[in-house]
Structure 1
Amino acid sequence: MTERNILLVSIGVTTLFALLGVVWGVAIDSSMIIFDGLYSLISVGLSFLSLVVLKQIQDKGATEDSRYPFGKAHFEPLLIVFKSLSLIGMCSFSAINSFSVLLAGGRSVAPGPAVIYALISTLGCLAVMLFIQRNNKLIESNLLTVEKNEWLGDFLLSLGVLIGFSATYMLQDGRYNWIVPYADPGMVVMASGIFIFLPLKSFIGAAREMIFYQVNDQSMKPVENEAADIANEYNAKYKLRMVSIGRELNIEVNFLLEENRLLSVEEMDAIRSRIAIVVSKMKKQHWINITFTQQPLWL
């Protein structure tokens, strides 16, 4: 299944849950269920934006190449930053609004219908999350990873709602029935606080890519080992720079040779091939720049 088709499935199901959540929440006056529906509704808009960006990234026309001579890989982390900030803003607003309801004495909600909604939502979110995760194993798309994380957030949110309203249902006729009015806004405050961290994690990862932060040591190690072996063979020094931008790797290797050491064209091509073979195993699009200099010191 293609990346675009997976996003379309996600958008379709998200739209259904968004409408269901908003309508059901308004009907029983539950801010928690309305929050769940609005979270899904915002996700629909962000998923459509993902499709637009995906189309831009995959467009290989000559006009596009001239407008973006260094590629469009940076579109992906830019989109992830925007999506993450949107969800963080929505969670922050919901938490503040529900906290004011708590201070005002809470809100009574019929827990029975809320439990039914939460059960439907929990099972649906789990199914879509597993669907995206399974199909993304071969594609390894950052956009689909973020999409899966959004469904994971929806699943955990719905599960929390299910547990919370189930407990409220059992307490409504007991000695602790005074808790019932605080359950709905209280769950919104807790859910909003927790779910800020999921988009925050995506935001930090995408922001690191946008400022060209070096990839982690585990990703660098294979290239580093090959560059070190080549440097030892030619009695040279090397410097490796490696950054990840969206679905692309940008790699630069500088070999510093001894002053009187000359490499033939065949030797330089062989070195480039060795580095390229290692990088190709990482299953990501990549740009490789390898240079050879003869000077006693790095400039």
Structure 2
Amino acid sequence: MCARTSLNEKRVLTFSALLASGFAGGGLVLGLLVGSLVIVFDGVYSLVSLLLTLLSLAVSRYIQGPSVSRFPFGKAVLEPLVIAVKGIVILTVVLYSLHSAVLAMFTGGREVNPSIATLFGAINVIGCGYAWWFIAQKSKRFSSGLIGAEVKQWQMDTLLSVAITIGFIAAWIVSKTPYAHYAQFADPAMMILMSFYFIKVPFDMIRNALRELLMMKPNENIYAAVDKEILALEHQVSDSMELELAGVTKIGQELRINIDVYPNQTQVQVADVIKARRILKHKLSSLSLDLQLTMNIAS
């Protein structure tokens, strides 16, 4: 990862941590005061996001340091490991909140002041929406798995805030009708509905991180781009050698590619291999990943 990208990554993670700390404190305090399960969940989620962001920031700084004997192949593997931890923690929070909401539904619901809760939800929608938009814009300018995970965290937080606001507005409307006694079930009902939706995001984070940790084939877009450029390069150097893609995997911000080189003559010139390597690295630079290219002379 280049120095500029590393600096931008640290700035975005720091911004995310500061913002998450404010939402975490506000959500926990107000949620406990008004007795809302959903607002408490929002505060807990923001607190968890803060801790995970601090973890991402620490790992981002550590990855930029020199590799030591414990990491002979670099520290790129730490990035998907952190993302997997994030996904597991978020999934645990969602499942626990779902359990609490189901229990509340069977014990008479929870009575909440909808006006205060609605105001809090509206403020959260604006704040979280801005954080989601700002970090998403930054992620488009430079590629980073840690920043991508932050985008998903703030996306979930924004959608959660929108759901809270809509739910409490609906609860306030119901409280003004002859069915006012059902309004107390709005809080746990919202939590149950949101839990089923939010389970997918951390599940996808865990699945994608495990694919990188297990060094499995990258997504189709990356694989197709690599395969296309190798085929194009083979046509350029077909007089002296044939190229075969032996393996490709993405680990964090590293794209590792192994290519077998089959000489068409008795021996292949080292200069030809160096030239082919330089051309391929240039062609794949558009992927915005740290290319680790290995070309093996096959017999």
TM (norm. structure 2) is 0.92
Q: Find the counterpart in structure 1 of residue 100 from structure 2.
A: 97
**Deviation of 1:181 (Å):** 1.1
SS in structure 2 opposite 1:214? coil
**Deviation of 1:279 (Å):** 2.2
Deviates most, 142-151 or 235-244: 235-244
SS in structure 1 opposite 2:68? helix
Q: What CA distance in whole angstroms lies between the structure 2 residues aligned with 1:220 and 1:240?
A: 12
Task: Give CA deviations for 1:165-209 in whole Å, capped at 9, x if unaligned.
Answer: 001111102022122011011111111221111111111111110
**Deviation of 1:237 (Å):** 5.5
Q: Is the 8 A contact 2:217 2:248 kept in 1?
A: yes
SS in structure 2 opposite 1:201? helix
Q: Which amino acid counterpart does residue 194 of structure 2 have in structure 1?
A: A
Q: Does 1:24 align with 2:30?
A: yes
**Deviation of 1:228 (Å):** 2.6
Q: What CA distance in whole angstroms lies between the structure 1 residues aligned with 2:226 and 2:169?
A: 53
Task: Give CA deviations for 1:10-38 in whole Å, capped at 9, x if unaligned.
Answer: 11111111111111111111111111101
**Deviation of 1:281 (Å):** 2.5
1:124 alignment partner, one of 123, 127, 144? 127
Task: Give CA deviations for 1:201-242 in whole Å, capped at 9, x if unaligned.
Answer: 111111110111112332123332333344451463623311
2:252 alignment partner, one of 242, 246, 250? 246
> Relative to structure 1, is the Cα distance of residues 116 and 254 closer, same or farther in structure 2, using a 3 angstrom cutoff?
same
Q: Does 1:277 align with 2:276?
A: no
Q: Find the counterpart in structure 1 of residue 54 from structure 2.
A: 48
SS in structure 2 opposite 1:182? helix
Q: Find the counterpart in structure 1 of residue 43 from structure 2.
A: 37
> Relative to structure 1, is the Cα distance of residues 99 and 69 closer, same or farther in structure 2, using a 3 angstrom cutoff?
same
**Deviation of 1:65 (Å):** 3.4
**Structure 1 unaligned spans of 5+:** 295-299
**Deviation of 1:97 (Å):** 1.2
Q: Is the 8 A contact 1:223 1:278 kept in 2?
A: no
Q: Does 1:5 align with 2:3?
A: no
> Relative to structure 1, is the Cα distance of residues 180 and 255 closer, same or farther in structure 2, using a 3 angstrom cutoff?
same
Q: Is the 8 A contact 1:231 1:255 kept in 2?
A: no
Q: Note the aligned Cα RMSD (angstroms).
A: 1.6
Q: What CA distance in whole angstroms lies between the structure 2 residues aligned with 1:218 and 1:51?
A: 28
Q: Which amino acid counterpart does residue 263 of structure 1 have in structure 2?
A: V
Q: Find the counterpart in structure 2 of residue 263 from structure 1.
A: 268
Q: Does 1:190 align with 2:196?
A: no
Q: Is the 8 A contact 2:227 2:245 kept in 1?
A: no
> Relative to structure 1, is the Cα distance of residues 28 and 229 closer, same or farther in structure 2, using a 3 angstrom cutoff?
closer
Q: Is the 8 A contact 1:224 1:240 kept in 2?
A: no
Q: Find the counterpart in structure 2 of residue 14 from structure 1.
A: 20
Q: Which amino acid counterpart does residue 26 of structure 2 have in structure 1?
A: L
**Structure 2 unaligned spans of 5+:** 1-6
**Deviation of 1:142 (Å):** 1.0
Q: Find the counterpart in structure 2 of residue 139 from structure 1.
A: 142
> Relative to structure 1, is the Cα distance of residues 43 and 222 closer, same or farther in structure 2, using a 3 angstrom cutoff?
closer
Q: What CA distance in whole angstroms lies between the structure 1 residues aligned with 2:91 and 2:296?
A: 43
Moved >6 Å (runs of 4+) = none
Q: What CA distance in whole angstroms lies between the structure 2 residues aligned with 1:35 and 1:118?
A: 12
TM (norm. structure 1) is 0.92
Percent of aligned positions with the same letter in both sequences? 29
SS in structure 2 opposite 1:154? helix
**Deviation of 1:157 (Å):** 0.4
Q: Is the 8 A contact 1:226 1:274 kept in 2?
A: no
SS in structure 1 opposite 2:282? helix
Q: Is the 8 A contact 1:29 1:109 kept in 2?
A: yes
Task: Give CA deviations for 1:53-106 in whole Å, capped at 9, x if unaligned.
Answer: 10111113xxx3333110000000000000100010011011011101101121
Q: Is the 8 A contact 1:242 1:249 kept in 2?
A: yes
